[in-house]
Amino acid sequence: MKSTFNYLTILLALSTLFISCSSVEKVEKQVLNASNNWISNFNKGNTVEIANAYTEDAIMVAKPFGTFTGRNAIDQFWTPFIQSGATDLKYTNTHVKIINDQEAIISSDWSMNVGKGVITNETWVKTEGIWKLKHDHFEVTEQFKDKNDMKTKKETYVLVHAAWLGGWEWENVAKSLKEQGHTVITPDLPGHGNDKTPPSAITMKDYVQTLTDILDTQKEPVILVGHSFNGITISRVAELRATKIKKLVYLTAFLLPNGGSFFKAVQGVNGSKAVDNFYLSEDKTYALVKEDEIQNAFAHDIPKEAFDSAKHYIVPEPSAPLQYELEITAENFGRIPKYYIECTEDKAIPIEVQRAMYKGNVKKTFTLHSSHTPNFSQPKNLAAILLEIKDEI
C-alpha cells in the first residue's frame, strides 16, 4: 500500500509540474508574440500601433533621452524618431522572466539602422486579455547615424494656402525649399486658384479630401503646413491621416481644439482688420473682406503695386468651411509634433490671439516680424524657418 501511495504522489507531482511548465511556456509564447508584433510595427513605421501597445499609464525610461510618462508622451517620443528614418529593429540574446500568468519581463540586446543598445526591463502585462507594455527601460550604447545626416535628408512639404488665396501664394517660398532639394506641393483647394468650383458647392469635406488624396500618394510622411484659416483644415486632415504626417506647421493659423470653428474663434476678437471688415454675400454662400481694407488687413508690409498685381487672384471664400466644427482626437491629431510660426505685425489675426491658440499646444514656436502674409513680404525668412523645423527632433 505504501508503495502505491508513493507512486501516486510522484505521479501527481509530475503532473502538476507538467501543467506548470506548460502554463509558463504558454505565457512566454504570448509575450514574445506581443513583443515581436511591436517590433514588426516599428519596422513598418506603424506609429499608431506602436503607441497602442502601451498601457495608458506606461512609463518609458530611454537613456540618454529621458523618462516619458503616459502613452501620449511615449508616442510623442517614438513618432518623430521613427519618421526620421529609424528601422530594421532586431532583438538578440532575449530572455523572458515570467512573474505570473498576467505579467512577464523581457530583457534583450537590440540593434537597428541608427544604433544599438540594451533593454533592461520591458514589462508586459495582460490587460483585458491583451498583452501591453507597462514599463519600457532601454539604453542606447552606440549611435551609428551622424546628427548631420538629418540636415541632408530630403523632405516633402505640402503647403496649404490661406482663405481667399491659392497655391500661388507659396511660389517664392517653394522656390527656396526646392533649391535645397526638397519636394514641395502647393495645392489649390476647391474654389481657389485654378479650381473653379462654385463656392456654394464647397464644404470642409471637399478641402479635406483634396489633401488626403495628396497624402495617400506619398510614400513617406510629409511636413504639412497650414496658413491662416486652413490651420483648421490641416488639423482635420491630421486626424484622418496621422501616419502620413511627420510634422504639422501652423503659419499664423487657427490652431483650435475639438469642436472649434472659424466663426466661434473670431467671436469677440478685437483689433483685427480682417474681422472688422468681414462680410457674407447676400445668399450667405461666400465671404469677403471689404476691398479697400484687404491689403491693410493681410499684407500691409508689401508695396501697393505688388499687392495690386496679385489682387485679381483673390477669390470669394466659401462660407460652409468657415462654419465647420473641428473633429479631432488626442489619439490621432494629438500625437503629431506641432510647430507654430507667429507673425507679430499681423493685422488679421492679432499676435495675442495667435499666442492664446498655440500656448501649451506646440513643441516650438518661431517668430517673424511680419504681416499676415510673410509668404509675400519675407519668403526667404519663412523658408528658412520651414527648413529649421525639418531638423527639429
Q: How many structural domains are present in the chain?
A: 2
What does the pLDDT average to over 278-296?
95
In this structure, are 192 and 275 located in the same domain?
A: yes
In this structure, are 253 and 122 located in the same domain?
A: no
Residue 17: the pLDDT is 45
Cross-strand pairs, 132: 125
Residue 14: the pLDDT is 47
Cβ atoms within 10 Å of 161's Cβ, excluding its own = 24
In this structure, are 111 and 154 located in the same domain?
A: no
C-alpha distances in angstroms, 107 versus 66, 91, 131, 264?
A: 19, 9, 16, 52
- The domain in which residue 281 lies consists of 149-390
Q: What is the mean pLDDT of the chain?
A: 91
In this structure, are 169 and 186 located in the same domain?
A: yes
Question: Which comes out higher in pLDDT, residue 393 or 311?
Answer: 311
In this structure, are 51 and 138 located in the same domain?
A: yes
* Lowest-confidence region among 59-73, 177-191, 204-218, 334-348: 59-73
C-alpha distances in angstroms, 293 versus 164, 273, 297, 348?
A: 14, 7, 6, 11
**Grid coordinates standing for 292?**
479697400
Which amino acid, 341?
I
Residue 64: the pLDDT is 87
* Lowest-confidence region among 18-22, 155-159, 169-173, 291-295: 18-22
Query: How far, rounded to the nearest angstrom, does the alpha carbon of residue 286 sit from its chain's CA centroid?
Result: 31
Q: Is the pLDDT of residue 324 over 60?
A: yes
What does the pLDDT average to over 360-382?
96
CATH of the domain at 284: 3.40.50.1820
In this structure, are 123 and 193 located in the same domain?
A: no
Burial (Cβ within 10 Å: 0-12, 13-18, ≥19) of residue 45 = middle
In this structure, are 182 and 112 located in the same domain?
A: no
pLDDT in tens, 115-171: 899 999 999 999 889 999 999 999 998 887 554 555 567 999 999 999 999 999 999
CATH of the domain at 6: 3.10.450.50
